[in-house]
Amino acid sequence: MGSIIQLAVSLVGVFVLARFGYQFRRIYLRSQVTTIPSIFFLFGTPLRFFVPNIPLINPINRTHWAVRFERYRQIQSSVFKTETPSKEHSSIWLADKMAIKTVSTNRKSWAKPIQLYRVLDLFGKNLVTTEGPEWKAHRRIVGPSFSEGVYKRVWNTSLVALEQMFQTEGLADLKPGEEIQIEDVTHVTMRLALVVIAREAFSFDMEYDSKRDTNAKSLAGDHTMSAADALAVVSQSTLVKVLCPNWMYKIPNIPYVSERLAKIKDAFTNLDNYMLEMMADRRASSLAGEEVRSDLFDSLWRAADDNLDKQVDGETKWSFSDREVVGNTFIFLLAGHETNGHSRFSFLPPTVKYPLVVFTDGRLFFQQSLHPEKQVELLEHILTVLPRGRQPIYEDFQKLTHTMAVLYETLRLFPAVAVIPKVSTEDTTLKYQDIGGDNGIKTIFVPKGTDVTIDTPALHTNPLYWKDPLSFKPERFLEDYEKDAFIPFSAGPRACVGRRFAEVSNMVFLSLVVRDYEVVAIPRPGETEEAMRDRLVRAKPVLTLTPCGAVDLMFKRRA
């Protein structure tokens, strides 16, 4: 019996070794096809993102965003390929603006790998999870929903939300020179983002102080959770919903887990029903000639109804169902809450590693050790547009150029989405600029079915396009800059339709906070300034780039 087991184990071992030998030979032959550098790793996606960074085994893991362009610098190329034994084709990583522009704009040769995004069909198909003619239909209907009128409402709603935050957190009561500490500012910024989206996307009368959500917290019909509560839970639990299979929700009596999963399932069900009921009610009110509240949700269902009988791509007809209206509204909630909430965190003490617009010799230091005149630059600019005591108006948006530069520089160093996947739909080629030789243009062959990753943090710090790329210098965006090398909202036809929405809301937030308060990062007991700086730079890519741990801040009222 023992000899049979030994023989079986030996045969399995021989098979495994033979299989690996075959795979490694295939990798070697692939490496001879193109001249770009290769990086080998044993694990494929998504497993490699949960395995430590190990040379020759797993050199690219989920912390790759923090490396930025360094890996490309080491191999002297802004394009490289990765090899995995289990994959038929090499995968290509791009930090070159020319190649990225081609991949983003040439929809004939390049597509979005939709199978990676199907998990976001939680409420229905949407702009993110579709491709081809179906995506065009979504884009045609969704695009007009973001108009100048919407942005003006977003501006005013952001002012209301920010004023509520000042009141609730005690900032409004501070006298000049007085200060107050806020523990874990990410909770503040995420709540601000949620309030703006709740009001502008759904017309939910959500308050910054959840205890005052009397209108939005009222139960309706057979609902077991208020609209505000359901929206809050969904916005915080999307990753759990995506990762947990349906059978996990049926397991009873797991301490904490079962109760938490039940609440998440209940929230998703309630929010889904609320949105479908809202659509039915608004249609009925519109047909009756009654006034309907204007918001993003209203724009979507009206546009969908107007396009029911229109054609896409000649003979192909595409109807936009109620389920797809709900699906797109959810995607705006997810994108707005995640990216705006975490991006605002980046502005506050600093932009994670670098303090808020206070810089010397191209590098920022924390406010307590800075040259005050450097901090004054942004403040003086804001005061020329928004003197203290004057309420901002939407027309101020275009005038706050330095504030926008700070926003862009923050997003350059800390983009919300670190990687953008693409796949080749046919045999094609890519041109890129060589950085290891004479900076000439090179061309590589890309077989059909090749996975390509747009590496946003690396592109944003490629020294070909950015002088002193790791330094926080907002002034670079006050001059001409490499627009094709700056893609915080993606690029090409699939660029984020909500870009202006995010910019408007964040401009309100950043301008008024800087105008009225000095924001200081608080070191932990016994923590040096350098250690605090290193702690604040830590982040992790979850759904978007997310800060690691709590960040406590001190807000001091300006004189």
Give residue 204's pLDDT: 81
The encoded tokens of residue 47 equal 């497993």
Helix, strand, coil percentages in the chain from 3-state DSSP, rounded to 5 = 50, 15, 35
The encoded tokens of residue 306 equal 């107007």
Q: Is 442 helix (H, G, I), strand (E, B) or coil?
A: strand
Please tell me the distance from the alpha carbon of residue 536 to that of residue 352, in angstroms, as a whole number: 5
Q: In what order do the strands lie in the sheet with 79-83?
A: 38-40, 79-83, 91-94, 451-455, 419-424, 110-111
Residue 534 CB partners (closer than 8 Å, separation 6+): none
Please tell me the distance from the alpha carbon of residue 132 to that of residue 108, in angstroms, as a whole number: 10
**Widest Cα–Cα separation across the chain:** 89
Please tell me the distance from the alpha carbon of residue 275 to that of residue 277, in angstroms, as a whole number: 5
- DSSP-derived pairing of the beta strands 79-83 and 38-40: parallel
In this structure, are residues 171 and 267 in contact, taking their beta carbons and an 8 Å threshold? no
Closest CA to 415 of 480, 491, 356, 327: 491
Please tell me the distance from the alpha carbon of residue 114 to that of residue 104, in angstroms, as a whole number: 15
Ranges assigned E (strand) in 136-292: 179-182
Q: Is 302 helix (H, G, I), strand (E, B) or coil?
A: helix
Count of CA atoms in the C-beta half-sphere (13 A) of 455: 27
Phi-psi region of 128 (alpha: psi -120 to 50; beta: other; left: phi over 0): alpha
Residue at 311: amino acid letter: Q
Please tell me the distance from the alpha carbon of residue 515 to that of residue 388, in angstroms, as a whole number: 7
Residue 244 CB coordination number (10 Å): 16
Q: Is 386 helix (H, G, I), strand (E, B) or coil?
A: coil
Q: Is 378 helix (H, G, I), strand (E, B) or coil?
A: helix
Domains contained in the chain, CATH given: 33-124+418-459 (no CATH), 137-203+293-415+468-557 (1.10.630.10)
Cα 158-163-164 angle, rounded to 5 deg: 100
496 labeled binding residue: yes
Give residue 321's pLDDT: 83
In this structure, are residues 506 and 400 in contact, taking their beta carbons and an 8 Å threshold? no
pLDDT beneath 70: ranges in the chain: 1-2, 15-16, 18-34, 41-65, 85-88, 213-221, 307-319, 336-375, 436-438, 539-548
What letter would DSSP give residue 540?
A: E
Give residue 459's pLDDT: 97
Residue 526 CB coordination number (10 Å): 6
User: Radius of gyration of the chain from Cα atoms?
Assistant: 25
Find the helix or strand (DSSP H, E) in which 413 lies.
helix 401-413
Please tell me the distance from the alpha carbon of residue 110 to that of residue 51, in angstroms, as a whole number: 29
Can the peptide bond before residue 421 be classed as cis, meaning omega within 30 degrees of 0? Answer: no
Q: Is 491 helix (H, G, I), strand (E, B) or coil?
A: coil
Give residue 355's pLDDT: 32
Find the helix or strand (DSSP H, E) in which 444 lies.
strand 441-446
Find the helix or strand (DSSP H, E) in which 431 lies.
strand 428-433
Give residue 28's pLDDT: 60
Please tell me the distance from the alpha carbon of residue 30 to that of residue 453, in angstroms, as a whole number: 18
Give residue 299's pLDDT: 81
Residue 483 CB partners (closer than 8 Å, separation 6+): none
The encoded tokens of residue 91 equal 């995968």
Give residue 309's pLDDT: 52
In this structure, are residues 418 and 344 in contact, taking their beta carbons and an 8 Å threshold? no
What letter would DSSP give residue 512?
A: H
The number of angstroms, rounded, from the C-alpha of 52 to the middle of its chain's C-alpha atoms is 23
Give residue 236's pLDDT: 82
Please tell me the distance from the alpha carbon of residue 454 to that of residue 423, in angstroms, as a whole number: 11
In this structure, are residues 134 and 140 in contact, taking their beta carbons and an 8 Å threshold? no
The encoded tokens of residue 396 equal 């101020």
Give residue 525's pLDDT: 87
Please tell me the distance from the alpha carbon of residue 212 to that of residue 205, in angstroms, as a whole number: 10
Give residue 179's pLDDT: 93
In this structure, are residues 404 and 477 in contact, taking their beta carbons and an 8 Å threshold? yes
Burial 281-314, CB ≥16 within 10 A → b, else e: ebeeeeeeeeebeebbbbbbbbbbbebeeeebee
Closest CA to 188 of 458, 496, 519: 519
Give residue 371's pLDDT: 31
Helix axes 499-516, 401-413, angle to 10 degrees: 110
